[in-house]
A and B are shown apart, each in its own frame.
Chain A
């Protein structure tokens, strides 16, 4: 906290001018090492495995939802990590927090994984049975006297995910416009043409800056709304409706909140890679890890609150249909997974982040972020595999029996690898096109952040523009 702490603002001395920042970040962007190529190859390999797994899976057909539980979990995992990550750029930008600047692009780049997420979603449309199997839906089957179309959930969820991906890409694009223009001005030949096209005639006029600021605000708010809406549709029509007796008004919010935690964790992982091996040490410092570490901490509190709010209602009420839902997701065959999730998503972030030495470090939040990612991975498996394994809809809206645990076969494992590998691959490729640290935001920071002497001490002065 004290301004004598040197690690809080690394890189101030070396990069005091806008020109230096510009040059430094552009050079870094143009460099790519062996490790990068290796990572691309590795993730491409994983993606190939995933495609093989998918082919094996599709060979069995789409009529049995239980077979597709792990596929749904893989989709939900990508939705909950990569697609949630842009919120890490959006929320602090709305709050005008300066610490976001070096990492906002890292977060926004995840928006492009939304396209991959959309691709992952397409098979699920076939897997989910039409509404005529008698299950409940958000689109209130038979409520208004006339039946709604049999494929309402499929149509609306697809449109929502499409919109989410589109907004994510647009957000990334608008945010990268000034950087595209800068790259256009420094490159030649075909590359210059491409950046010129991407920059859409950006010359940095006052009007353009003004418009960009407003568009970023609006697109950010819109992304958040779409994000919540997608989680709402997916959790209800693609999960909750499959489990008779499960009516949990809070679950969409729980799902979205844990996704935000995992999104923050994903950004932390990229941050630490860039800092340790990518040469961005001067930009990504303790402030950023501290800020996101606090977010992990706060969201772990939210996790326990939401989980307990749901659990307590079911546990206390003791309705048979609700007790069987607890049996399916918590007490029953998936209990070890639940314990792991409880520890990784809640207990570790809470109890370790209380300690100052861990909270104010690089490795503390990083290790916890890895834990959170494993936690969300296991949580999505716990929920989706269990949910998809419930086959029958009963007219009483209650489960007849709790199915046994569904273990993954080789195709499922390949699919899980493929989903992760594909997300990483598209992210890596996008980072070649777009600078992974936002150049213009970094330059703007120089205007508003000052270190100045204050009588006998030095203080950090932060400007808050309108």
Chain B
């Protein structure tokens, strides 16, 4: 099924580096605009720090809302990169080649967005957060509580951030050498320094290949642990109905993959639209990611189904009341319906059609839709769960997002978009050497009158 990319090495360089060596006209205005949105969020964040969390819309008992949703949402998106690049590398799927780096970079930026979104503010005094994470205070002998899920969380997220950043950097080395050879002066010096003097010997290529496999294999278990641990922020404790479920870890992981792979598809569409890489990102690639999404979405839906079935299976009154609130009561009813439609019932039937999978526009629409749904999914897990009145509750508030929270949310989107654009300006967003390797390894097998695409397997 893989159509071959029909370019030679020089053309690959030209196509993929034209916006690194030069600058597209829309780039500066776009980054400037996103930067302003981001700065507005930073301003809101500063106001929040100054005034305290009272400027949020939280009311007792809803202490977690928008910010936690954003956190889980962005951690979810960040699972895309490793999912795509590691699993597809390990299974030697040819269509991964143009996609891997964009996915990995998306991982890095969305992880930082997740860190910005919530956990800092929720520690109470954000400027002292690091004290809660790292062992500290030899003077008084007071140490962080390892038994708290909020200590597991930073250990996992920081491991993942370190690992995925290093993963990007290692795979970037050969491509930095290509830019070094295409630039002059100061830029050449900088790229020459960054690529560590890459020359392209068989040893270096071999290590690059082994590194891809080995790092994928090592990052995969980390990726699984990260969202599991995020889910355990909710699931381990028993106070909130709807949270104490054993399926949470796999449910969050598969949900993260669902939203993350969709986000990668969105980024792929944008890569074609913005950078005109239609020679590298063929309809076949969208077809392949669409098929993957059908499987992922179905597994996710099964996990969702199990979560619901076992919530009802308890036959516990508070649990049933919560489910009723989620589905039948305002304002959650329309949100729940939107969630189900946008995350599953709109996109998945469409993906069954080959024409949809091969259409940029429809892939863009459906994958954006999935992420709207997946954001709502997290919101519907968090807020209705804690809004229920507890037996010892005296204050019973509801929740409406405030402008500050909305500004911070938009800032995270601006941050990720801006980050990707700046990255694409400085580094190639499509791994050149991976594309070139695919071209070297490609073959065709002629069977009668049929030409079957083939590739070299080692």
Q: Decide if A and B touch, CB cutoff 8 A.
A: yes
Binds B, one of A149-157, A334-342, A446-454: A446-454
Q: Which of A408-466 contact B (CB under 8 A)?
A: 447-448, 450, 454, 459-466
Complex Cα gap A70–B238 (Å): 34
B250/A253 in contact, CB under 8 A:
yes
Return B266 CB to nearest CB of chain A, in Å. Answer: 25
Any chain B CB within 8 A of the CB of A314?
A: yes
B454/A317 in contact, CB under 8 A:
no
A310/B458 in contact, CB under 8 A:
no
B244/A460 in contact, CB under 8 A:
no
Residues in B whose Cβ lies below 8 Å from that of A126: none
Question: Chain A 299-326 against B: per-residue CB contact (8 Å), 1 yes, 0 no?
Answer: 0010001100110111011110000000
Question: Chain B 87-100 against A: per-residue CB contact (8 Å), 1 yes, 0 no?
Answer: 00001001000000
B443/A143 in contact, CB under 8 A:
no
B310/A247 in contact, CB under 8 A:
yes
Any chain A CB within 8 A of the CB of B312?
A: yes
Any chain B CB within 8 A of the CB of A95?
A: yes
Residues in A whose Cβ lies below 8 Å from that of B306: 232, 249-250, 252-253
B247/A461 in contact, CB under 8 A:
no
Complex Cα gap A317–B241 (Å): 13
Complex Cα gap A301–B253 (Å): 15
A305/B246 in contact, CB under 8 A:
no
Return A96 CB to nearest CB of chain B, in Å. Answer: 9
Residues in A whose Cβ lies below 8 Å from that of B232: 312-313, 316
Return A299 CB to nearest CB of chain B, in Å. Answer: 13
In the complex, which of the residues B1, B309, B313, B456 contacts A461, with contact meaning CB atoms closer than 8 Å? B456
Binds A, one of B333-341, B377-385, B445-453: B445-453
A251/B246 in contact, CB under 8 A:
yes
Any chain A CB within 8 A of the CB of B221?
A: yes
Residue on A nearest B445 in the bound complex, by CB: A463
Q: How large is the interface on A (under 10, 10 to 19, 20 to 34, 35 or more residues)?
A: 35 or more
Residue on A nearest B312 in the bound complex, by CB: A140
Residue on B nearest A253 in the bound complex, by CB: B250
Residues in A whose Cβ lies below 8 Å from that of B235: 313
Any chain A CB within 8 A of the CB of B146?
A: no
Residues in A whose Cβ lies below 8 Å from that of B311: 249
Q: Which of B334-350 contact A (CB under 8 A)?
A: none
B238/A317 in contact, CB under 8 A:
yes
Complex Cα gap A3–B458 (Å): 6
Residues in A whose Cβ lies below 8 Å from that of B184: none
Return B92 CB to nearest CB of chain A, in Å. Answer: 9
Question: Chain A 50-65 against B: per-residue CB contact (8 Å), 1 yes, 0 no?
Answer: 0000000000000000
A138/B313 in contact, CB under 8 A:
yes
Complex Cα gap A301–B149 (Å): 22
Any chain A CB within 8 A of the CB of B27?
A: no
Residues in B whose Cβ lies below 8 Å from that of A253: 247, 250, 303, 306
Complex Cα gap A301–B218 (Å): 12
Any chain A CB within 8 A of the CB of B314?
A: yes
Any chain A CB within 8 A of the CB of B121?
A: no
A461/B447 in contact, CB under 8 A:
no
Return A98 CB to nearest CB of chain B, in Å. Answer: 9
A454/B456 in contact, CB under 8 A:
yes
Residues in A whose Cβ lies below 8 Å from that of B250: 250, 253, 305-306, 309
Residues in B whose Cβ lies below 8 Å from that of A251: 246
Residue on A nearest B440 in the bound complex, by CB: A454
Residues in A whose Cβ lies below 8 Å from that of B118: none
Residues in B whose Cβ lies below 8 Å from that of A460: 456-458
Any chain A CB within 8 A of the CB of B245?
A: yes
Any chain B CB within 8 A of the CB of A400?
A: no
Residues in B whose Cβ lies below 8 Å from that of A319: 238
Any chain A CB within 8 A of the CB of B315?
A: yes
Complex Cα gap A182–B232 (Å): 56
Residue on A nearest B456 in the bound complex, by CB: A459
Contact A136/B315 with A250-B246, A250-B250, A463-B454 known, Cβ cut-off 8 Å: yes
Residue on A nearest B315 in the bound complex, by CB: A136
Question: Chain B 424-458 against A: per-residue CB contact (8 Å), 1 yes, 0 no?
Answer: 00000000000000000001010100001111111
A465/B315 in contact, CB under 8 A:
no
Return A190 CB to nearest CB of chain B, in Å. Answer: 38
Complex Cα gap A461–B453 (Å): 10
Complex Cα gap A448–B450 (Å): 12
Return B58 CB to nearest CB of chain A, in Å. Answer: 25
In the complex, which of the residues A301, A313, A454, A461 contacts B248, with contact meaning CB atoms closer than 8 Å? A313
A464/B237 in contact, CB under 8 A:
no
B244/A317 in contact, CB under 8 A:
yes
Residues in B whose Cβ lies below 8 Å from that of A318: 238
Q: Give chain B's interface residues, CB within 8 Å of chain A.
A: 1-2, 91, 94, 149, 221, 224, 228, 232, 235-238, 244-250, 302-303, 306-307, 309-315, 443, 445, 447, 452-458
Extra inter-chain contacts (19) besides given A253-B250, A316-B232, A460-B457, CB under 8 Å? A2-B458, A143-B312, A248-B310, A249-B245, A249-B309, A250-B250, A253-B306, A305-B224, A305-B249, A306-B250, A312-B236, A316-B149, A317-B238, A447-B447, A450-B454, A459-B457, A463-B443, A463-B452, A464-B452
Question: What 4 A-B pairs are tightest by C-beta distance, nearest first?
Answer: A249-B310, A249-B247, A316-B236, A463-B454
